[in-house]
Amino acid sequence: MLQQAVEVHRAGQLDAAEALYRKVLQTRAGQPDALHFLGVLCHQRGRSDEGIRLIRMALRAVPRHADAHNNLGNIHKETGELAEAEACYRRALACDGHHIDALGNLALVLEAQQRFQEARRAYADLPERAPQLSRAHYLKGMYLRRHVDEIADLEQAVACFRSAIRCDGGNVRALDALGVTLYMLGRRDEAVGAYRDWLAHEPDNPVPRHMLAACGGEAAPPRADDAYVRDVFDQFAESFDEQLLENLDYRAPQVLVDALVGILGAPAHALDVLDAGCGTGLCGPLIRPHARRLDGVDLSGGMLEKARLRGGYDELVVAELTAYLRERPERWDVVLSADTLVYFGDLGEVLAAAHAALRAGGWMAFTLEALDGGNGRLELSSSGRYQHERGYVEQMLDEAGFVEARMTASALRKEVGKPVAGWVVLARKGGFARGQA
């Protein structure tokens, strides 16, 4: 019965699994494996306190159960109790010094507590203890890439990802990480090779195909494919805010709203606002004081779930941006878009749609990555994002019908420890706004 419970649990049939675990415990009170796995299931169902209690009961019966200590740590980690999680992982390792999951989790919570030297040692221990485990090399490489002190860290990360691929040629996460890291080092030809290898394993995956084009291995599309954007940000949703705000000094929402507020004046809760490509909702709290109504649209359902939890929006919709704007003429007084149009090469259609979706006198505000030069160019960079010259942006705004275009250079985030140059763009639709004569 316990084996059957575990099988249906692994298959995601939580109702059936819970009933079976409880039946085991009715037959044999205190059975430690049933307590342990039922505790994991309770946490999965949002009953984390009950899950903690059940796993502790299992550990009273079997105190040196490394897996149970590790899973108890996972519950504490996922509920934000990092010190308790650390203690559990250390107990798991005391029971089994080669428990790689516990060591990887310990490294993660040390990093989350900003104890970087200890975290670095823990990540370095992973491939030492499990040299044939692809994931061990991958996790070490990812830590090095997140915390770059010098170029040598990126070179070492490349070596880690190559080791991960040698251990498991089908580790597409390592192929992805290898391609990104080679791009960060400016080694485009090698990055092309990594993305071709990834495509060979997953020929229908839009992510390696887009990144192959970004590195010059195929012709660049006029804009990023919807499936690429959706897949990337659905996978990124859980760690998006932490990675951008803590590791990349992400400033685009604040810089964009600051520029817009300079035009809008004092907050009056009077405007209908669209956060176009709202992601996890970082712009929401910044613009909300000006909004009578605040809507958000994004391709990624995973990102929208985070925005919903953050709150402040009247409506959140999963949709492609250009089509969504076209279907809602003269709906908003402000459309703002922080780091969404970097996935559009050709800006003509989306700016025309935004112009139509604004009321007379309304403002479009957005950020782009800057491209040097004066020939009106755009290009798909090795990061997978498009860069635009000033002249091109001004031409597209003019063709879409905007007036009073203003472009300001600003650093929007850091990459490999260096500021990424960007544009903060404001443009008005002609005519008088509400309340103007």
My answer on whether 261 and 184 are in the same domain is no
My answer on whether 386 and 259 are in the same domain is yes
Judge whether residue 244 has pLDDT over 80. no
Q: Which domain holds residue 295?
A: 237-429
Query: Among residues 193, 219, 245, which one ends one of the domains?
Result: 219
Residue 46 carries which DSSP code?
A: T
My answer on whether 187 and 261 are in the same domain is no
Q: What is the pLDDT of residue 245?
A: 44
My answer on whether 213 and 312 are in the same domain is no
Could you report the per-residue pLDDT of 374-393, keeping only the tens digit for each?
677 899 988 889 999 999 99
My answer on whether 149 and 265 are in the same domain is no
Total tally of structural domains belonging to the chain: 2
Percent of the chain residues past pLDDT 90, beyond the cut: 77
Query: Among residues 219, 245, 262, which one ends one of the domains?
Result: 219
Q: Is residue 66 included in any domain, yes or no?
A: no
Q: Tell the residue number behind the tokens 């003019």, with chain if given.
A: 398
My answer on whether 276 and 302 are in the same domain is yes
Report the CATH number at residue 283: 3.40.50.150
Q: Is residue 88 included in any domain, yes or no?
A: no
403 pLDDT band (50/70/90 cuts)? very high
> What is the rounded distance in angstroms from the CA atom of residue 340 to the CA atom of residue 367?
8
Could you report the per-residue pLDDT of 301-351, keeping only the tens digit for each?
988 998 898 889 999 999 999 999 999 999 999 999 999 999 999 999 999
My answer on whether 186 and 327 are in the same domain is no
Q: Is residue 177 included in any domain, yes or no?
A: yes
Q: What is the pLDDT of residue 248?
A: 60
Percent of the chain residues past pLDDT 70, beyond the cut: 95
Q: What is the pLDDT of residue 419?
A: 80
Q: Is residue 30 included in any domain, yes or no?
A: no
For 182, residues 6+ apart whose C-beta sits below 8 A from its C-beta are 158, 188, 190, 191, 194
My answer on whether 208 and 348 are in the same domain is no
Query: Among residues 154, 185, 219, which one ends one of the domains?
Result: 219
Q: Is residue 395 included in any domain, yes or no?
A: yes
My answer on whether 200 and 259 are in the same domain is no
My answer on whether 204 and 333 are in the same domain is no
Q: What is the pLDDT of residue 437?
A: 43
Q: Is residue 182 included in any domain, yes or no?
A: yes
What is the rounded end-to-end Cα distance, in angstroms, of the chain? 77
My answer on whether 209 and 284 are in the same domain is no
My answer on whether 277 and 408 are in the same domain is yes
Judge whether residue 148 has pLDDT over 50. yes
Q: Is residue 362 included in any domain, yes or no?
A: yes
Mean pLDDT, rounded, for 159-166 = 97
Q: Is residue 50 included in any domain, yes or no?
A: no
Distance of CA 67 to the CA centre of its chain: 29
Report the CATH number at residue 209: 1.25.40.10
More confident: 302 or 294 = 294
236 pLDDT band (50/70/90 cuts)? low
Structure tokens at 4: 């059957």
Nearest C-alpha neighbor of 336 from the set 288, 378, 386, 383: 288
